[in-house]
């Protein structure tokens, strides 16, 4: 259970439990790949546990231990899990509206709340802020003239792109626990190797302004070990990296696999020089 602002106790729920578990992973700065390596559970299993139902207790304890949670807090998680398992299932909501003579309205599926929708909403604000910082540039959205077959020359105008920091697992596309970032080189593991640019952490929905691209290390957004990945329409691999422009004459690279699909393919930009 959690405390409300007025001091009352709030009934716990599987949704809140899973959200707190995901938050513990973020606080521990663990990606799905790192959580798999440290806990012994497959990335796809961890991702599904945070998405649906009440996760298995042994998985919860192993993942939390990998995230650095200490024994006293682990016992609180055990007790919380035990309470949730004993909760009765949520009864269905019955329609008490008065019957009508007309045909029944079409059945509608209930809205599904997902944390990435919140991030997308925040991303709209981030887009506005990013574009306002780049007022010295003429920013254009990528367009394509379907009626023309002429090949346009590479553009020298910066364009806006949107980050998609998600992992293709099984047949799904899920937000990564660790943020995307810009690097000084078009290679992975810059957080470990010292080529990560400071203060550039981003989640899905963040906006960047890019002016060119390079070809570097080949990257993939797919968990190739997860079941069903061959049928996942969202998996993508590419060696293209966009160069993003930052205030203060700074710039950094972002792999194309971490860009929303509609902004992939080069956007008509030229390759970076120098």
Answer yes or no: do 146 and 248 share one domain.
yes
Answer yes or no: do 125 and 167 share one domain.
yes
Beta-carbon neighbour count of residue 227 at 10 Å?
13
User: What CATH number does residue 40 fall under?
Assistant: 1.10.260
Which pLDDT belongs to residue 171? 92
Answer yes or no: do 133 and 62 share one domain.
no
Answer yes or no: do 75 and 126 share one domain.
no
Task: Please indicate, yes or no, if residue 75 is contained in any of the structural domains.
Answer: yes
Is the pLDDT at 175 greater than 80? The verdict is yes
Provide the pLDDT confidence category of residue 152 given band limits of 50, 70 and 90: low
How deeply is 158 buried, as exposed, middle or buried, from its count of CB atoms within 10 A (0-12, 13-18, 19+)? buried
Can you give the pTM of this predicted structure?
0.54
Is the pLDDT at 124 greater than 60? The verdict is no
Task: Please indicate, yes or no, if residue 61 is contained in any of the structural domains.
Answer: yes
**Among the three residues 43, 66, 86, which one is the final residue of a domain in this structure?**
86
Burial 178-215 (b: 16+ CB within 10 A, else e): bbbbbbebbeeebeeeebbbeebebbbbbbbbbbbbee
- Which residue range forms the structural domain that includes residue 19? 2-86
Task: Please indicate, yes or no, if residue 19 is contained in any of the structural domains.
Answer: yes
Which pLDDT belongs to residue 219? 96
How many domains, in total, are found in the chain? 2
Which pLDDT belongs to residue 154? 67
Q: Which residue has the higher pLDDT, 31 or 144?
A: 31
Provide the pLDDT confidence category of residue 209 given band limits of 50, 70 and 90: very high
Instruction: Tell me the sheet residues that pair with 237.
Output: 220
Answer yes or no: do 81 and 133 share one domain.
no
Which pLDDT belongs to residue 253? 98
Task: Please indicate, yes or no, if residue 197 is contained in any of the structural domains.
Answer: yes
Task: Please indicate, yes or no, if residue 92 is contained in any of the structural domains.
Answer: no
Answer yes or no: do 140 and 80 share one domain.
no
Which pLDDT belongs to residue 46? 86
Answer yes or no: do 37 and 170 share one domain.
no
Distance of CA 236 to the CA centre of its chain: 15
Task: Please indicate, yes or no, if residue 269 is contained in any of the structural domains.
Answer: no
Answer yes or no: do 155 and 201 share one domain.
yes
Task: Please indicate, yes or no, if residue 95 is contained in any of the structural domains.
Answer: no
Answer yes or no: do 81 and 120 share one domain.
no
Which helix (H) or strand (E) segment is 133 a member of? helix 115-133
Q: At what angle do helices 32-39 and 43-51 cross, to 10 degrees?
A: 110
CA distance 10 to 1: 6
Which pLDDT belongs to residue 229? 93
Answer yes or no: do 159 and 247 share one domain.
yes
């Amino acid at each position: 259970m959690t405390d409300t602002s007025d001091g009352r106790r709030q009934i716990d729920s599987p949704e809140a439990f899973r959200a707190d578990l995901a938050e513990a992973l973020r606080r521990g700065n663990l990606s799905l790949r790192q959580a798999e390596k440290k806990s012994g559970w497959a990335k796809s299993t961890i991702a599904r546990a945070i998405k649906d139902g009440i996760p298995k207790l042994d998985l919860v304890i192993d993942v939390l231990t990998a995230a650095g949670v200490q024994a006293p807090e682990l016992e609180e998680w055990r007790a919380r899990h035990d309470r949730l398992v004993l909760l009765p299932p949520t009864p269905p909501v019955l329609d008490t509206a008065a019957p009508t003579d007309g045909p029944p309205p079409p059945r509608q599926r209930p809205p599904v709340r997902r944390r990435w929708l919140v991030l997308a909403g925040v991303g709209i604000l981030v887009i506005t802020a990013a574009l306002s910082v780049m007022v010295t540039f003429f920013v254009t959205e990528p367009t394509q003239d379907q009626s023309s077959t002429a090949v346009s020359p590479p553009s020298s105008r910066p364009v806006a792109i949107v980050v998609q920091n998600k992992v293709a697992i099984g047949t799904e596309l899920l937000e990564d626990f660790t943020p995307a970032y810009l690097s000084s080189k078009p290679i992975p593991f810059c957080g470990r190797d010292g080529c990560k640019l400071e203060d550039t952490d981003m989640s899905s929905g963040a906006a960047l302004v890019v002016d060119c691209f390079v070809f570097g290390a080949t990257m993939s957004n797919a968990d190739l070990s997860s079941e069903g990945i061959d049928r996942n329409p969202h998996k993508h691999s590419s060696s293209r990296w966009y160069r993003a422009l930052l205030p203060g004459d700074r710039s950094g690279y972002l792999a194309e696999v971490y860009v929303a699909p509609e902004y992939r393919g080069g956007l008509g930009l030229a390759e970076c020089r120098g």
